[in-house]
Structure formats: C-alpha cells, structure tokens
Structure 1
Amino acid sequence: MSFEAIIGHQMIIKQIQDSINSGRFSHAHLIVGEDGIGKSIIAKEIALKLLNKKENKNYVDIIEVRGARNKNSIGVDEIREIIKEANKKPYESDKKVIIIYEAHKMTTEAQNAFLKTIEEPPSGVNLILLCETIELILETIRSRCQTYKLNRLNSKEMKMYIEKKYLGLEEADIKQLIAFCEGIPGKCKSFIEDDNFKEIRNKTINILLEVCKKDRYIIKQYENFFSKYKDQWRDILSCFISYLRDIVVYKELGNKKIVINSDKLEEIKKLSNIYSFKELNEFMDIINKVRNNLERRINQELAFDIMLLNMQEV
C-alpha cells in the first residue's frame, strides 16, 4: 500500500506528505482515532516514506512497540526499553522510526519518563504515538507532538473501501456493512471474518430478548460471556446500540429495508413489540453510561453487572 492507496483522511495525508517532502516533518507525532480507523496504516506509510522504502514489510529501523497482551497499561519499564532503543544508532541508514501502539495506555509515570525523549529525541529518530483517547495523554506530551485527528470515513469512502477489500459482495451486504461499521473500516473485518464477533452479536441480541423477563439469573448467566470478551467491550456495546437503533426504527416505521442488522430481522420485530420507545431510549442511556465508565477504566465485570440490573429495572 502507499499513501495514494489509503481511502479517506486525504487532507491529513496530504499534510503529512508535504511536510516529509519539504523536510519539515516533526520528530514526534500523535495520531489519534478510534480503533480500526486507520492509524497503524498511516503510521507504517510514514515510516516507509521516511526510510525511503518501497515495499511494505518489516525493517530493522522501523520499531513497532505494543504493550503486553496480559497488561492493561504501558509502564515505566516498557518506556525505558523504548528509550534505550531510541538511543541506538540506525542500522541501514541515518533514520529510525519508532511506532508506539495504544499510547493512551501509558501510565502517568511512564509518560513523564518519556517526556525528555519526545522533546529531544536522538538525531534521526522519529516517534509516532498512536492513541484512541487523547484525553489520556498528558498535555506536556501533546504540546511536543504534531497531532493528527482521524475522523470516521463517510459513506462514499466506506463503499470504496469495502468494494476494494471484499470483492464480490452483493449490494445489500455492502449497504449493511456501511451502516453497521459507522465509518470505521476496521469493523468490516470483525463483521465478516471474526467468529468471536459473530458470537458477540448473537449473545447481545439474546440479552435484549431475555432482560425483559426480570429474572436475576441473567446476570450470572452472562458472566462468562462478558469475561471472555472483556477486551472487546467496545464491540459488545456497539452491538447493543446497533440493535436498539434498529428496533426503534422498525417500531416507528415498520420498514425492514432500513434495518441494519437484516440477518436478525425476526428478533428485531419481536423486540419492537416487547419494548416501548421510552424503554429503548433508557436502554441507550444506560449503555452510553457504561461506555463512559469503561473509558475511565471502571471495573468491567461490575460495570456489566450494573448495566444488566439497570436494564431489568427499566
């Protein structure tokens, strides 16, 4: 892939290309956007361009740093390793690029430890921090980085992406993907290829069908589900919101053609008869509140237990 092949974010890409071509590219950058929006693709293309590489593959002078899978944060020890790597001379030329994924997971102590390196990195070293939530990045870090905020793709761009990525999809399937993914290309892969995501979709619609029974066992019943997919809590909440929107729209208009989750149409119809508009709107408020709490790193199991309790009490 090249910059020209990336769909969306054209103004930002042009700004980046112009600054690289003119030799004015800053030494530290912060790329902000939701998971699946395209941060890593743009970061890798920046690295290839800076190192004057044509082929997209692994290079010794492109260092990609990811936090440990079993940890929810990036601590001081990991940052010290990054600093040590930054101070090593490049191997192939006079440039090195370090890409840090999920930089928003850096603890406050880790960010403070990283501050001097971001402010004055060794000669030839470019730092690219990718984050989903800029509010979790210290102002002292932000002020020393060139920041790019990636927005969601529009419907036309999403259609271009889907048709390019998934050849042979029928128009109805493309329409469903565009509606469901809400401008985030990375969601397409989950929807089409990920069996875990399929289970999340099935479980969330089942919860909506069962929560109306007001039985307390439902919380215990779904504990394992929420625990199993704790790292995909955003997908869980997105599925809830997507179904609730479909239920509201179908309940109001009765038009199955505008239902996003068309494969769940029978469940949508049933739920539109079970819940009132007031109850559906309260469900949305509950789920949005859970999203805000989880963004602030509230205990997930507790958050989902409270969510189900609140939904039962509506």
Structure 2
Amino acid sequence: MTFDEIIGYESIKNQMSISIENNTFSHAHLISGEDGIGKSIIARAAAEQFLLRQGLHGFKADIVEFKLLEDKKSIGIDEIKDIICEANKKPIVGNNKVIIIYKADTMTEPAQNALLKTVEEPKDGIVIIMLCEKLDLILDTIKSRCQIHKLNRLREEEMRIFLKRKFQDLSDEYINSVCAFSDGVPGRAEKFIEDDVFYEIRNKILEVLKNSGRDEFREVFHYRNFFIENKNEWKDIFTCLLSYIRDALVYKETGNSSIVVNIDKFNDIKIIAEEFSFNKLIKIIDIVKNTRSKLEKNVNFALVFDSMLLSMQEV
C-alpha cells in the first residue's frame, strides 16, 4: 500500500515523502499510536517508498519485520540480538534495508540499551522503524536518536471514506454505528465488521448486562470461560461494556435512538435502559472502569473478571 492509498495522516505522510525524495530520510523512526490506528501500514508504506526511491526491484525482501512472539510479554536481549544480527547483514537487493520492530514499547530496559548502538549508528543503508503504543516506555536515549511520528485518530469524514472504500456494501446507518464505535481507529472498525470472535464478544456482553441483578445472573458465570479464553481481547471486552452502558444511559435520559452508538443492538439497549436505574448504570460504569484499571496493571484476568461479575450482581 502506498501513501496515496492511506486515508488520513497527511502531515506525517507528507513529511516522510519529502524526506525520502530529498534523500534525508532518517535512519531511525518511532511511530506511536494506539492499537489499530495504522502504525504498521504507515511503516510499510514508508519502507516501500524508501526502497523504491533507491531504484530497487524485488525490494520487499529487504523489509524485515520483527514481531513479539505470542508466548512472550516482552522483547528481551535474545530478540534484540536477532535484530542486531539482521541489521549487520547485507541487504538482499541493492544497498538498503528497512527493519520494522513491532511493539517496541515492550522492550525491556536492558534490551533497549542493547539496541541503542544500532539505533544510534546503524550500518549504511539500514533504516530502523519502531512501532509503539506507549511512547513513555521508550528510553529517552532511544527517543533522542529517532524521528518521532505520533498518529492521531481519524476524523469522522476520513473514517467514512475509509469504510466506503474498503466495504462498499455498508448501509449509511451501519456506517454511523461503526464510526461511533471505532472513534477514529480504523483497526477497531475492521474488527467491528469482520471479526467473528468480536461479534460473539458483543453478544455475550449484552447477555451479561441484561442478566445483571436478575435471579438468572448466576447463569452469567457460564460465560466466564469464554471471556477467559479471550482474555487477550480484554480491551475490546471493556470497550464494548462501556459502550453499551453509555448507550443505555443516553437513551434512558433522552429517549432518542438516533444517538445510540450500537444501533444494531438497539432492542437490547432499550431493555437495559428500561430495567436499570440511572444509579445502577453509573455504579456499573464505576465497577467496569475500576476493573479495567486493574487489568492495565497486569492483575490476573480471571480473578478481577469474577470480582467484577459479583460486584455487578450486588449493585
């Protein structure tokens, strides 16, 4: 994908394109932004344009990507040794190579220190692009040697262009829902539309909410295994929870269905709004936010999720 095909991020695309054309493209870059914002797409487009500018054919062999292994929570010294080894190898085609490091903010401090010299003084023709969500987890010594690009969320009109270009058969009403839920994050919109697991997560969360406080709420614990199996999607789980409760609060207060985000689930939202008091909904929001805060600190998912379900039952 070229820069011209990417929706949004005009300033960053222009800055990179100009530096590539002028042969002033930095040897080290940090692209930061939340999950799904488009960091990898920008990185690959920059890599392709940089290598094409050098007149290379078959250049994709010299775009090398390092991704965090599924069974790992951080990038350690061993992984950095592999990256350094790759940076010291000659390119397969021509004299240039681009190394893209995903989830760079998971590098341990020793790993970052080990990478520092390579970032500071890479071999001629080597460009390193690091992707991260939390820029503050990157050491200042690394950041000071990189050109930093911060990706912000797309504007609503940009999201609509993105959706209509990628999914031609969506109704305007459905696009409204996707735009509202994704809140300017393209990857979140794609997940909303395409991901079967995410579809099931949305449905099961509704069942949890509708049964909250009822006698049947004990049945909710039958769902816990599903959520635990999908604990790596906990951010989506809590985004859905808060989105549904927000919709119920808004509809309860206004009676206006047009401002409900999850319009495809309106009948369920209406039931929640009618059966729950304002006080109950607000307390559930506090419980959910408190649980999410614990998970951000890497507390055991199963324990805090069970605690959340019990607290919701007691409201």
Comparing 24-33 and 220-229, the one that deviates more: 220-229
d(CA) in 1 for partners of 2:105 and 2:152? 17
Give CA deviations for 1:268-303 in whole Å, capped at 9, x if unaligned: 111112222233223223323333333332322223
Aligned pair count?
Answer: 314
C-alpha contact (below 8 Å) 1:211/1:218 kept by paired residues: no
User: Which structure 1 residue ranges, 4+ long, deviate > 6 Å from structure 2?
Assistant: 53-58
TM-score (norm 2): 0.92
Comparing 278-287 and 91-100, the one that deviates more: 278-287
Distance apart, 1:71 and its partner CA:
1.9
Q: 1:20 to 1:47 in 2, by over 3 A?
A: same
Distance apart, 1:99 and its partner CA:
0.4
Distance apart, 1:93 and its partner CA:
1.1
Secondary structure in structure 2 of the residue aligned to 1:81: helix
C-alpha contact (below 8 Å) 1:30/1:146 kept by paired residues: yes
d(CA) in 1 for partners of 2:57 and 2:195? 25
Structure 2 unaligned residues grouped into runs of 5+:
none
Question: What's the counterpart of residue 15 of structure 2?
Answer: 15
Question: What's the counterpart of residue 39 of structure 1?
Answer: 39
Q: 1:216 to 1:143 in 2, by over 3 A?
A: farther
Q: 1:286 to 1:28 in 2, by over 3 A?
A: farther
d(CA) in 2 for partners of 1:313 and 1:55? 65
Question: What's the counterpart of residue 109 of structure 1?
Answer: 110
Matches within 5 A, 1:122-161: 122-161=123-162
Comparing 50-59 and 151-160, the one that deviates more: 50-59
d(CA) in 2 for partners of 1:307 and 1:231? 17
Question: What's the counterpart of residue 179 of structure 2?
Answer: 178
Computed over aligned residues only, the root mean square deviation of the Cα atoms, in angstroms, reads 2.2
Give CA deviations for 1:36-82 in whole Å, capped at 9, x if unaligned: 11111100011001111799998221001111112222221111111
Give CA deviations for 1:13-38 in whole Å, capped at 9, x if unaligned: 11111222222221111111111111
Give CA deviations for 1:249-268 in whole Å, capped at 9, x if unaligned: 11011112221212211211
d(CA) in 2 for partners of 1:265 and 1:126? 49
C-alpha contact (below 8 Å) 1:47/1:97 kept by paired residues: yes
Question: What's the counterpart of residue 223 of structure 1?
Answer: 224
Question: What's the counterpart of residue 307 of structure 1?
Answer: 308
Secondary structure in structure 2 of the residue aligned to 1:233: helix
Structure 2 letter corresponding to 1:158: M
Structure 2 letter corresponding to 1:266: N
Question: What's the counterpart of residue 253 of structure 1?
Answer: 254
Secondary structure in structure 1 of the residue aligned to 2:270: helix
Secondary structure in structure 1 of the residue aligned to 2:60: coil
C-alpha contact (below 8 Å) 1:191/1:198 kept by paired residues: yes
Give CA deviations for 1:191-245 in whole Å, capped at 9, x if unaligned: 2221101110011111111222377846743331222111111111111111011
Q: 1:175 to 1:78 in 2, by over 3 A?
A: same
Q: 1:272 to 1:233 in 2, by over 3 A?
A: same
TM-score (norm 1): 0.93
Comparing 118-127 and 90-99, the one that deviates more: 118-127
Structure 1 unaligned residues grouped into runs of 5+:
none
d(CA) in 1 for partners of 2:64 and 2:196? 31
Structure 2 letter corresponding to 1:62: I
Q: 1:290 to 1:82 in 2, by over 3 A?
A: same
d(CA) in 1 for partners of 2:260 and 2:77? 47
